[in-house]
Structure 1
Amino acid sequence: MMLVALTACGSKDGGSAKIKFATDAAYAPMEYMDKGKMTGFDIEFLDAVMKEAGISYEVVNTGWDTMLTSVEQGKEYQGGISSVSITDKRKESYDYSIPYFESINMILVKEGSPVKSAADLKDKKVAVQISTTADTLMSGIMGADNKSLKRMDNNTLALMELENNGVDAVVADVAIVREYVKNNPNKKLVAISDPKNFESEYYGILLPKGSELKAKIDPAIKKIIENGTYTTVYKKWFGQEPDTKKLLEQK
């Protein structure tokens, strides 16, 4: 896999060693490649956090599975940011920053599909990105060993599978589904919300267990949420105000 790095420097660290973050830049509008450049909400958010914390850093596009493995090891990469939902299961292997983004999974189908909710997916072919909360949710609904549940390396492949009629639906985070629908108006796609089966979840910056970095970035995240920097970045990418009060209430 070709690794693409984005490097930036904090303004207060006086030349300390760079912190390396891994990401999976295939998750527009959160993190993705645009004309060879890494961009997206997570990328700009992380930049604001690290500047506030005064830490030099770089972001490397490693892919999802490599990110999870390497951050858990805590050697080459000291953190990961890639729309990573905070879950009790992952907390067994990782530490997280405080939450910085509220999300929820959605269902994406083609127009005319009989699917109206997650319950309708039990006997359908569904694509998800492997090792995500969408994978966990659909494993519970369809069965972990169900051959109709296709686990793809990334959401781009899952979406292509839907386009090519290889599956009946894709389940992915709201930001990814809405962005794809917005950018592909001619493909006649329908995004379905199902809060009964898909609850809100929160993203955090992924850290190795016992990471000293948490004590530095948590106050920086809180500060940029409180001073309006977060809202500016959020509105740029999503065109609406974030619920920062609700975000700051999360632990």
Structure 2
Amino acid sequence: MFCFFFNCDILLESRRIGEVRMKKIIALLLTFSFVFCLGGCTNPFQKDTETEKSQKPKVITSIKTEGSMKGITLKVGVSPDMAPFTFKNKQSGEIEGFDIDLLEALSEYLGFDYVLVVEQIKDIEEDLEEKKIDCAISGISITDSRQEKFKFTDSYFENSMTLITNKNVVAESKKDIVHMKLGTEKGTSEHEYLLKYMKKYNNKIITYKNMTQVYRALEKGKIDAAIYDSTGVEYYLKNHPNSNIVVVEKNLYEEQSDYGIMCVKDFHYMDELNVAMKQIDLSGQYQEIYNKWFREETKQKE
């Protein structure tokens, strides 16, 4: 019996020694594994700095932007019939307007030169698609259809459309415009609006080369109504106090009427233009340009 217990004690002691050795071996293996991971494994809690660097957005400050486009010459399309934004001065023959002064301010800030390409809106869009010009500025509305083909800056002027008629037409809103002749400049956002919302009421859409022809036709009663940018309508009526044209409804299509500079799809200086416009606004220069053309104490675009 004594031998039996003695042998059991020996066996238990051997078992304890084996367990201690096994724990030491496991601890040693874990230590090697930890060291190996420090050298080659990815820490799941460690930030991937390379990924963060690659995803970091481009930041352009006013300091970096000013003068950043020196040596660059842009071909800029402008319409001669978009008063007061771009139009031909009858006395000097020069293109002038709110947009031209804004373009000049951008040129001075960024340092680029520009060449004006004078043509109608429809031709401007065609030349942009063919990359014959770089950008265009002429009270051009930022519409969904245009954004599919071109790239726009942030809006620089808030606007909407106004329905106008000959004074002999009886109408209180666009709902009354049925079975009538409607005039518009071909290829404009107004043309798009009439085709989308007004033609279905059995109205006939008549296109003209420019807004000067539209106004003339409406004054003479050759067409019944037209839709045009609100600011343009106000400017026209202010300069034609004896006009036969009356305003029927305002604030149409506001979500598709704000103005922006329209450029080719792969234009590389959009950020620079946006920063420059913000700086021109903050400096008070935008307000000065606005007051020059609209003579109001508060600007349209905040």
TM-score (norm 1): 0.85
Q: CA RMSD in A?
A: 2.1
Larger relative strand fraction: 1
1:104-150 CA-partner distances (Å, limit 9, x unpaired)? 11122233431221122232211011222211222223227966111
Percent identity over the alignment is 25
State the AA in 2 paired with 1:20.
Answer: K
Structure 2 distance, partners of 1:149, 1:198, is 18
State the AA in 1 paired with 2:264.
Answer: P
Which structure has more relative contact order (CA 8 Å, sep 6+)? It is 1
Report deviation, 1:170: 1.7
1:19 aligns with 2:84: no
Gap change, CA 1:217 and 1:157, over 3 Å in 2: same
Gap change, CA 1:96 and 1:14, over 3 Å in 2: closer
Asked if the contact 2:158/2:301 (under 8 Å) is kept, the reply is no
Structure 2 distance, partners of 1:63, 1:194, is 25
Structure 1 distance, partners of 2:275, 2:69, is 19
State the AA in 2 paired with 1:51.
Answer: E
Q: Which runs of 5+ in 2 are unaligned?
A: 1-65
Q: Which runs of 5+ in 1 are unaligned?
A: 1-10, 246-251
State the AA in 2 paired with 1:207.
Answer: C
Report deviation, 1:15: 6.0
Report deviation, 1:243: 4.3
Structure 1 distance, partners of 2:170, 2:267, is 47
2:137 corresponds in structure 1 to: 81
**112, 115, 134: which one aligns with 1:55:** 112
Larger Rg: 2
TM-score (norm 2): 0.72
Count of residues in correspondence between the two structures: 233
1:125 aligns with 2:184: no
State the AA in 1 paired with 2:190.
Answer: A
Larger relative helix fraction: 2
Gap change, CA 1:236 and 1:172, over 3 Å in 2: same
1:218 corresponds in structure 2 to: 274
Report deviation, 1:163: 1.9
**201, 206, 209: which one aligns with 1:150:** 206
State the AA in 1 paired with 2:159.
Answer: S
1:32 corresponds in structure 2 to: 87
